[in-house]
Amino acid sequence: MEPGFWQARWETKQIGFHEGKPNAYLVKHLDRLGLAPGARIFLPLCGKTRDIAYLLGQGFAVAGAELSRIAVEELFAELEVVPEITAAGDLLRFSAPGLDIFQGDIFALEAETLGPVDAVYDRAALIALPPDMRPSYAAHVTAITGAVPQLVVTIVYDQSLVGGPPFSVPAVAVHALHDAGYRVTHLDAVTRPDALKGQWEATEEVHLLERR
């Protein structure tokens, strides 16, 4: 998607993708990542997700990447934390104890800037991207994180019903993106009649990616 699309969504508060509580699949499957206490988890295209507060509360460090400065500022306001803001190449780094959010284009985020991470949690990034952008996104995240394990949440539905985002990303698409470098394990699938924008049936799926 063009950056202006997402900037406009945050400016006009069209953020139906934002969950006001920790994601149920994260809570259920976080332990499958096998993380040690204090591990650092990367959340691409994180918005102001409440998953960050949950992970911090579980004793993990969090790094995120988000295009919208509005989202980042609202994230820290809701956490009731005042960030230190510094330049990080073409990005801005918003930092607080245990938390670093890189604001700007995720494709401008380099491994040296991100720093070491132990896992990736992707609830809203892959499904936000149309098919032609997914290969470059997947390769970039793998490269900057050193192919650490990933917990990926997707949504699957009849794409002819409505245009994305969120886009339908079936298991076959996850495998096509990642089979070369990861073992992909299907962890969960829940079908709900109102999962897609509260109007259409969709199945939420969870995949664990582990380096081969």
What is the band of 199 on the pLDDT scale with cuts at 50, 70, 90?
A: confident
Q: What residue type is 21 in one-letter code?
A: K
- The two three-digit tokens of residue 194, written as one number: 């109102």
Domain of 168? 3-211
What are the CB-based long-range contacts (under 8 Å, 24+) for 157-160?
A: 157/195, 157/196, 157/200, 157/201, 157/202, 157/203, 158/200
| pLDDT score of 69 more than 90 | yes
| pLDDT score of 6 more than 70 | no
Does the reported pTM lie above 0.75? yes
- pLDDT, residue 1, reads 52
What is the band of 5 on the pLDDT scale with cuts at 50, 70, 90?
A: low
Q: What is the CATH number of the domain that holds 141?
A: 3.40.50.150
Share of the chain above pLDDT 70, in %: 91
Identify which of 127, 109, 124, 3 has the alpha carbon closest to the alpha carbon of residue 52: 124
Q: Contact, 28 vs 158, CB < 8 A? A: no
| pLDDT tens string 133-169 | 999 999 999 999 999 999 999 999 999 888 888 999 9
- Residue 26 marked in a binding site: no
- Residue 66 marked in a binding site: yes
- pLDDT, residue 161, reads 84
> What b/e readout covers 159-180, taking b as 16+ CB neighbours within 10 angstroms?
eeeeebebbbbeeebbeebbee
- The two three-digit tokens of residue 10, written as one number: 């945050």
In DSSP terms, which residues pair with 203 in a beta bridge? 156, 191
* Count: domains in the chain: 1
- pLDDT, residue 12, reads 67
| pLDDT tens string 97-114 | 999 999 999 999 999 999
Query: Tokens 């709900």 sit at which residue?
Result: 192
| pLDDT score of 60 more than 60 | yes
Rounded mean pLDDT of 21-45?
96
Write down the H helix ranges in the chain. Answer: 3-11, 24-29, 51-57, 69-79, 111-114, 134-145, 171-178
| pLDDT score of 16 more than 80 | no
- Residue 10 marked in a binding site: yes
